[in-house]
Amino acid sequence: MIRVVFGSRFLFTTTVWFSACALLLMAAREEDEEMSMAVREKDKETTHMKHTCNTGYSTNSCLCSKREKDLRGCVNCDTMDRYGYTLFRRTDDPVKNKTSRYILTAKGGGTAQVRLPAISSDEAKKAAGRNCFGFATHQAYTAPGDLPSLVSEHGNSPVHNVNDVNADNFRAAMELEGAIWLGRDDAQLQSMALTGKVRDDTEYYLVAAILKGGEYHFWGLWNNGWYATPSLTSAKVDDLGELPTTGYHGASRNCPSWHIFEKFLTKGSNFWHDQGGFYLFPLRKLTPQQGN
């Protein structure tokens, strides 16, 4: 007969080893459950996205451009809590129009129909002959308030001459155009109200303006970011550097905010931090040369 006697040290080590194995198995099981839950949540999100793509206004990335030839763009601002508004692309907007129709909804009340044109490879050609204002607002004239019908009624724009550019004259010129100021910093955007300001039968471009004594500069929001042209003769298009790098989430960085406005200021020199801002600019019938 062979008797095997185990020491207490051996029994203690064995017990610890089995306990460690049990803990590892429990951890692995919990990790598998977490991964399964994440997969289920992702499936639910995908189903929700497919549903919202077919109803009302999209709040998801399902309408985001997936291919270079798809000109729908990806700007999507689900920013009611952060900035006081949302900007969602309409799901009934046909891609063939090469532009994106959006709905801007303000926390303070009211909605506006917004059009964000598609930027294309020949946009620089269309920039030639138009200054920053004409390019951003898609107009054939060069100063706010100088629309021919306005000039015939009111005379030249208050900012027709660069020496006359100041905060009061610029504000008066934009009011003549029917442009609607939305705000400049996040607090102003949070208190934005559109009720009684926008026309239901009018679409608007979304533009931004910065200014200083004797000078203003405009940027326009396209369906994949902010663009501007520096001069009448440059035939050059600048982008803000906030262009989408990760599809839907990247383009969301282009949503109007103080962060974006500050980036406009850094593109120039000595522009005023307490003037200008984001505007809705009314869409008018465009000539074939202007496009969009």
Contact between residue 238 and residue 268 where contact means Cβ atoms under 8 Å apart: no
Residue 35: strand, helix, or coil? helix
Q: Which residues have a Cβ under 8 Å from the Cβ of 57 and sit 6 or more positions away?
A: 88, 89, 90, 91, 103
Please give the Cα distance from 244 to 221 (Å, whole number): 13
Judge if 32 and 77 occupy the same domain: no
Residue 62 lies in a domain: no
Domain with 121, as residue range(s), is: 68-282
Please give the Cα distance from 224 to 289 (Å, whole number): 22
Residue 227 lies in a domain: yes
pLDDT given for residue 176 in this prediction = 94
Q: What is the CA radius of gyration of the chain?
A: 28
Judge if 215 and 278 occupy the same domain: yes
Judge if 168 and 33 occupy the same domain: no
Judge if 197 and 129 occupy the same domain: yes
pLDDT given for residue 23 in this prediction = 53
Residue 170 lies in a domain: yes
pLDDT given for residue 122 in this prediction = 57
Judge if 125 and 192 occupy the same domain: yes
Judge if 251 and 120 occupy the same domain: yes
Residue 2 lies in a domain: no
What separation, in Å, do the N-terminal and C-terminal C-alpha atoms of the chain show?
98
- Structural domain total, the chain: 2
pLDDT given for residue 44 in this prediction = 38
> How many alpha carbons lie under 13 Å from residue 280 in its C-beta half-sphere?
25
Judge if 42 and 116 occupy the same domain: no
Judge if 246 and 121 occupy the same domain: yes
Report the predicted TM-score, pTM, of the whole model to 2 decimal places. Answer: 0.72
Please give the Cα distance from 143 to 182 (Å, whole number): 20
pLDDT given for residue 257 in this prediction = 94
Residue 117 lies in a domain: yes
Residue-by-residue pLDDT tens, the chain, 292 positions: 444 444 444 444 444 444 555 555 565 555 555 555 544 444 433 333 332 332 233 333 334 444 434 445 678 898 999 999 999 888 776 655 566 889 999 999 999 999 988 776 555 556 556 789 998 998 989 899 999 999 999 999 999 988 899 999 999 999 999 999 999 999 999 999 999 999 989 999 999 999 998 899 999 998 878 988 876 555 678 888 765 555 445 556 789 999 999 999 998 889 999 999 999 999 975 433 333 3
What are the tokens at 217? Answer: 């500069």
Judge if 32 and 78 occupy the same domain: no
Q: How many helices (H) and strands (E) does the chain have?
A: 9, 10
pLDDT given for residue 3 in this prediction = 47
Judge if 275 and 158 occupy the same domain: yes
Type and span of the H or E element at 222: strand 215-222
Judge if 128 and 267 occupy the same domain: yes
Report residue 164 CA to chain centroid gap.
Answer: 32
pLDDT given for residue 26 in this prediction = 60
- What are the CA-CA distances from residue 241 to residues 22, 25, 217 (Å)? 52, 48, 17
Residue 290 lies in a domain: no
pLDDT given for residue 117 in this prediction = 83
pLDDT given for residue 63 in this prediction = 42
Residue 61 lies in a domain: no
Judge if 94 and 203 occupy the same domain: yes
What are the tokens at 286? Answer: 């465009």
Residue 273 lies in a domain: yes
